[in-house]
Amino acid sequence: MSVHKEVKRVTTNTLQEFKDSGIKISMLTAYDFSMARIIDSAGIDVILVGDSASNVMAGHETTLPITLDQMIYHASSVVRGVERALVVVDLPFGSYQGNSRLALESAIRIMKEAGAHAVKLEGGAEIKESIVRILTAGIPVMGHLGLTPQSIYKFGTYTVRAKEEAEAQKLLEDAALLQEIGCFSIVLEKIPATLATKVAQSVHIPVIGIGAGNGVDGQVLVSHDMLGITKEFKPRFLRRYLNMYDEVQNAVKQYVDDVKSQNFPSDKEQY
Ligand code: KIV
């Protein structure tokens, strides 16, 4: 008899069941083993190994520089820390756009080398062929519409997307297309709440929002933002649940003081 407690894993089917029964989906990013273990053990449904690793782990200004090899490194670390959550991994910039064969090869590497459960790609009709080819290989795909940070140099700004009728209409059409070709879910980033609600009601697959209001089927945040590890980033949609930057800084200051004053280690902390 196994002494290990059986954990029921979250699958893409679980997320669909959640939407169908009105249960909201919780999703957070993680990029390393230790954080993934904490987040998973707290009961999160989906862990996204986001290309936001480029910003919060590597310190780049945009998500563009992160490579497929680096995403695989982060993703394989996360997978080792997860027992329950569905692990979705971003295909990084340059690993899928405009070449469906390359897209499939990139997705296969993520599934094979990292042990991920699904991939996420940014865009709609423009990347249809890439998504279809990945899906044909049996790899689940999550779409990502609205503010798509890999296109930041096209947008020129990180402000709210799809406020104008034409862009809103294209987004609705893209969401319908992603559902039709077989994506299991869609992330909507930074769009008006009314539009996001309309999208969530117009497709049967789960729609997960970030800065997209409360009318969608679930929420995702970057863990470094909601834990307050990032300090300056303060968009309206972000709720901080911790102030880790200050907490960690205070702990380190205390440690420095203790070392300097020889308060650490004490008699009990040595051999
Ligand atoms: O990379 C990321 O963290 C993301 C989320 C913002 C959805 O794509």
Q: Domain spans of the chain?
A: 12-240, 245-271
Known catalytic membership, residue 189: yes
Catalytic position from the list 105, 164, 180, 189: 189
Q: At the topology level of CATH, where does 12-240 sit?
A: TIM Barrel (3.20.20)
Tell me the two tokens of residue 170.
């294209």
Residue 141, phi then psi, degrees to nearest 5: -120, 130
Nearest CA to ligand 1 atom 2: 50
User: Going residue by residue through the chain (271 aa), what tens digit of pLDDT does each one get?
Assistant: 556 667 899 999 999 999 999 999 999 999 999 999 999 999 999 999 999 999 999 999 999 999 999 999 999 999 999 999 999 999 999 999 989 999 999 999 999 999 999 999 999 999 999 999 999 999 999 999 999 999 999 999 999 999 999 999 999 999 999 999 999 999 999 999 999 999 999 999 999 999 999 999 999 999 999 999 999 999 999 999 999 999 999 999 999 999 999 999 999 999 9
Residue (of 175, 187, 221) closest to 27 by Cα position: 221
Q: Which atom of ligand 1 is nearest to the CA of 122?
A: 8
Q: What residue's CA is closest to ligand 1, atom 8?
A: 50
- Listed in sequence order, the residues at least 6 apart from 124 whose beta carbon sits closer than 8 Å to its beta carbon are 143, 145, 170, 171, 173, 174, 175, 177, 178
> How far apart are the C-alpha atoms of 93 and 121, rounded to whole Å?
9
Q: How far is the CA of 268 from the centre of ligand 1 (A)?
A: 45
Cα distance between residue 176 and residue 108, in whole Å: 25
Q: Indicate whether residue 187 lines ligand 1 (CB < 6 A).
A: yes
Ligand 1 pocket residue status of 29, Cβ below 6 Å: yes
